[in-house]
């Protein structure tokens, strides 16, 4: 009991900044055509009330969230029985505090409805945590564009980076190694006023990457993985299946035009230092099988796969951390340490099944790039990379020649996000910088 009280006191502590955090934190995610998951963090152990209904009408339903001190006074609830393609408003209440928000549900599977969403990753690295007066300004730019949802493509925190200084909001100056510290990192990012304003206006699909635990970590061999995974699940509106409580890979259908496949590239992976070969895996056997069956069986026009690490940009030092095992000049390395054999097996399966209109989304490398890959014959696909939201700034680098890439646009040196619009005409992608300026636009027509 003493330990739990101490934990609660640590996690309830307010940041010493000029602006107090919102009284309640809220995030809606994993939206379908008939449901959603609502996550909230309170200011006390008292239950949180959620009232919600379609925009324009009175609240039609009420649910209660029981929060847990062990989960940083947070909890979540599934909202079921929702109408497809509808805008919902909600009010989250606790102890006299009310916080409103809204989100839209997905269209029914057969509806050819337009869809627009944003994606990016990498929030709060060393020297780039919350600014004392500006916070995380990229979220003001995100709020300036209309979107149905946001894809948070990894590195939602930098658990392994201390960050502080006279111009930074205190509370991030440590490396997380225990659950209360991981939770405090998540709370620090979520309490930013612009983050909260944005997350109360749009739903979020989130997945983790290495810095959510520790740089370049490899799956079950990382002792901190279960702790980092628990904190991630405690802070995001994700409800894994009861038979797989740690599962993070999942898929979502948005009408007849779009299906989203979210990968977990971390908890099942082989050691990075292992030489590439048929037995080396980033996804694990079950997730790999699920991905092939799901993508090849999808009837959506556009199949969008979210991989927190890129397919064609080599990362890591002596041991590669992304799918590529190419060298710094982009030439594939024999007996390299990437995961290219598994990557190429996935692409081969997609090609053999005639998958068209395939797009991979990634973050991780702290620069933006739009790439068309034409690895063989008459088959091609696209890879779109965005970020960082707020992290050290990267720059474009040579791409993996093994995929026969063509860079359509590349930009480093500024925070950014991507914006994807899908309609009956095709798919349009934009790269938007921290000021809200559109830096590049590219449109792809659907292949039959």
Mean pLDDT estimate for the chain: 95
- Domain assignment of residue 343, yes or no: yes
- Of 32, 215, 27, the closest CA to residue 125 belongs to 215
- Domain assignment of residue 18, yes or no: no
Secondary structure E strands in 20-126:
25-29, 36-41, 48-54, 61-65, 74-79, 87-94, 97-104, 115-120
CATH number, position 364: 3.60.21.70
Please return the burial class of 252, using the count of CB atoms within 10 Å of its CB with bins 0-12, 13-18 and 19+: middle
Which two three-digit tokens encode residue 368? 């933006």
Task: Indicate the helix (H) or strand (E) that contains 10.
Answer: helix 2-12
- Domain assignment of residue 65, yes or no: no
- Quick one: pLDDT at residue 13? 39
C-alpha distances in Å from residue 291, one per residue of 211, 283, 297: 24, 9, 10
Residue 10, pLDDT above cutoff 60 = no
- What is the C-alpha separation between 448 and 301, in angstroms, rounded? 9
- Quick one: pLDDT at residue 17? 41
- Domain assignment of residue 300, yes or no: yes
- Domain assignment of residue 26, yes or no: no
Angle 102-250-257 from CA coordinates, rounded to 5°: 70
Which two three-digit tokens encode residue 252? 């979502």
- Domain assignment of residue 320, yes or no: yes
pLDDT band (50, 70, 90) for residue 12: very low
* Mean pLDDT (whole number) for 431-442: 98
* Mean pLDDT (whole number) for 100-122: 98
Tens digits of per-residue pLDDT, 408-422? 999 999 999 999 999
> What is the domain extent for residue 424?
109-444
- Quick one: pLDDT at residue 154? 98
- What is the number of domains present in the chain? 1
Tens digits of per-residue pLDDT, 31-52? 999 999 999 999 999 999 999 9
Which two three-digit tokens encode residue 246? 């740690």
- Quick one: pLDDT at residue 18? 40
- Quick one: pLDDT at residue 15? 40
- Domain assignment of residue 435, yes or no: yes
- What is the C-alpha separation between 361 and 257, in angstroms, rounded? 17
CB 298 within 8 A of CB 259: yes
CB 188 within 8 A of CB 169: yes
Task: Indicate the helix (H) or strand (E) that contains 419.
Answer: strand 416-422
- Of 162, 156, 225, the closest CA to residue 195 belongs to 156
- Quick one: pLDDT at residue 59? 86
- Domain assignment of residue 282, yes or no: yes
CB 91 within 8 A of CB 59: yes
Secondary structure E strands in 208-332:
250-254, 258-262, 302-306
Tens digits of per-residue pLDDT, 66-99? 999 999 999 999 999 999 999 999 999 999 999 9
- What is the C-alpha separation between 379 and 391, in angstroms, rounded? 35
Q: What is the pTM of this model?
A: 0.95
- Quick one: pLDDT at residue 304? 99
* Mean pLDDT (whole number) for 242-257: 98
């Amino acid at each position: 009991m003493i330990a739990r009280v101490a934990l609660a006191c640590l996690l309830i502590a307010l940041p010493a900044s000029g602006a107090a955090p919102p009284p309640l934190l809220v995030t809606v995610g994993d939206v379908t055509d008939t449901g959603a998951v609502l996550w909230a963090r309170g200011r006390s152990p008292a239950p949180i009330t959620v009232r919600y209904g379609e925009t324009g009408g009175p609240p039609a339903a009420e649910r209660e969230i029981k929060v847990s001190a062990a989960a940083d006074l947070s909890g979540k609830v599934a909202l079921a029985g929702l109408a497809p393609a509808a805008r919902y408003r909600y009010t989250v209440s606790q102890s006299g505090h009310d916080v409103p928000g809204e989100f839209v549900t997905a269209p029914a599977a057969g509806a050819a409805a337009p869809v627009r969403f944003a994606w990016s990753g990498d929030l709060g690295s060393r020297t780039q945590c919350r600014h004392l007066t500006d916070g995380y300004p990229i979220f003001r730019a995100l709020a300036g564009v209309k979107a149905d949802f946001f894809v948070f493509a990894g590195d939602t925190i930098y658990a392994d980076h201390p960050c502080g200084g006279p111009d930074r909001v205190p509370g991030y100056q440590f490396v997380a190694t225990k659950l209360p510290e991981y939770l405090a990192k998540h709370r620090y990012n979520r309490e930013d006023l612009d983050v909260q304003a944005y997350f109360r206006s749009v739903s979020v699909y989130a997945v983790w990457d290495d810095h959510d635990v520790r740089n370049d970590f490899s799956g079950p061999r990382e002792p901190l993985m279960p702790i980092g995974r628990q904190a991630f699940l405690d802070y995001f509106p994700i409800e894994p299946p009861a038979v797989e409580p740690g599962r993070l890979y999942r898929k979502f259908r948005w009408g007849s035009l779009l299906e989203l496949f979210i990968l977990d590239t971390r908890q099942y992976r082989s050691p990075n230092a292992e030489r590439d070969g048929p037995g080396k895996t980033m996804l694990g056997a079950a997730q790999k099988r699920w991905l092939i069956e799901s993508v090849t069986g999808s009837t959506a026009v556009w199949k969008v796969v979210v991989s927190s690490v890129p397919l064609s940009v080599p990362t890591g030092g002596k041991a590669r951390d992304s799918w590529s095992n190419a060298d710094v000049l982009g030439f594939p390395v024999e007996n390299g340490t990437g995961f290219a054999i598994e990557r190429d097996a996935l692409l081969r399966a997609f090609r053999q099944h005639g998958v068209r209109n395939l797009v991979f989304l990634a973050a991780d490398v702290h620069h933006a790039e739009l790439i068309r890959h034409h690895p063989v014959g008459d088959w091609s696909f696209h890879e779109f990379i965005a970020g960082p939201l707020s992290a050290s700034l990267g720059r474009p680098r040579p791409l993996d020649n093994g995929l026969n890439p063509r860079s359509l646009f590349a930009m480093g040196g500024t925070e950014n996000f991507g914006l994807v619009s899908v309609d009956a005409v095709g798919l349009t992608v934009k790269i938007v910088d921290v000021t809200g300026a559109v830096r590049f636009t590219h449109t792809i027509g659907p292949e039959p």
